Structure 1
Amino acid sequence: MIGLATWSCRAIVRVGVAMMLSAAAAGAASADETVSVGGSRVALIRPASARASVILLPGGDGAINVGEQGDIHGLLGNQLVRTRKAYAARGLAVMVADTNTDLKAAVDYMASIKRPVTVIGTSRGTLRAAEGIARGARPDALVLTSGFLSPESGSSSNVMSILGAPSALPRTLVIHHSSDACKFTLPAGVDPFIKWSGGRARVKWLSGGAEEGDPCQARGHHGFNGLDGQVVSLAAGFR
């Protein structure tokens, strides 16, 4: 008969081995790495069995300053940069693109990992998304958060003006905060964009969260401060 102490030791060993195997599996499931896409360095999180892919286009100047191991040193507070691992946790292959990344090359790269490929841009990243699509990038879907959408958004440079016609627009989800006070992404710009899209785009309005500091920065409603989980859930689920 096995003594209680012996049984306990064996149980502890089994639990410890199971935990190590689980940790090893998690490590194998996704790892940060730096890859070159069209001559631009980007950060990549590549799950072992991705169910889809996303390309994240941060706002601001778009310079994420990627290190050697997928480590990011710029725009760390940006809503897409700070939530990149939350997308990977949902089984998505994730690329965080730098400002000069060729979007067509990025879409092709992620398509080789797993389609569908969704481009997600926030703030000025929505302009880079539109510019990439205008140059020939063909993602399966597009998500525009806190976007420079139309002239009514507050900027002469916007997704509508860059694309020119809605025929270039893939299936599109707009995620916008009803209290976004940034002068370039005003809520008033959303409805004109949705109408212009001719049924290719729909909108999901969010409210609540916190407003701190510059209304055009990540800690305001513009950056969905306090609402990261909702944004990720909506964007990750749109394919």
Structure 2
Amino acid sequence: MGVVNVTPDSFSDGGEWFEPEAAIGHGRELLAAGADLLDIGGESTRPGAERPSVEEELRRVLPVVRELASAGAVVSIDTMRAEVAGAALDAGASLVNDVSGGLADDDMAGVVADAGAPFVVMHWRGHSADMQSRAIYADVVTEVCAELLERLDALQDKGIRGENLVVDPGFGFAKTAAHNWSLLRRLDEVLALGHPVLVGTSRKTFLGRLGLAEGADPHPPTERDLATAVTSFHAARHGAWAVRVHDVASTMRALDVADALGGAR
């Protein structure tokens, strides 16, 4: 899953693809590099980010979704808003990736159920402005799995078919570095929930702190692609459904190694 951020303030690419023409061109580059689908989002979810208006989010994403879908790309819309999800599905998107798992907008489940679209349910404890204050767990893996199961049950009660639900443990969302590493080490427990699993570690801060002294500034996001590729390899070897990445080319090389060693892709 290649990431197309149509935002001015994303942590990884800081507005590089903010204009529709640039975002469309970047999407085509990711497809050429080997992406199976494109995740298009118009709202930054970095810690502390402010939310755009619904109108602004629609303005950002719809031209990009429409153009890339019409060109034959499988498009995922990355949004927490039912109105944006519905408009993107009408414009050609094939699935919805909601980092709130349907918690941020009560209408989301109905929109997805009516469309019969696949839905990515991420583990979420609150919006970016204050989510890190909620990174408190006795056992992060057990609690993340339990909270995901609760969401899966609730979404199916609202009409989304179980076979259309994909889970995402939410790396970096209300998680410390230690929590993220625990989730990666025990990824089998997330897979045991019985749904396809999306892994999104790409360029996250916990990867940027590897090998550095306590308190040192992390490596810049674009210098985290090797670590991202290693975690993608790990996810593939454990049977993840997809990995969500910014740099598709380096991850494709890691997945080729996983295939050669007998991993699933």
- TM norm structure 2: 0.38
Larger Rg: 1
Query: Which structure has greater helix proportion?
Result: 2
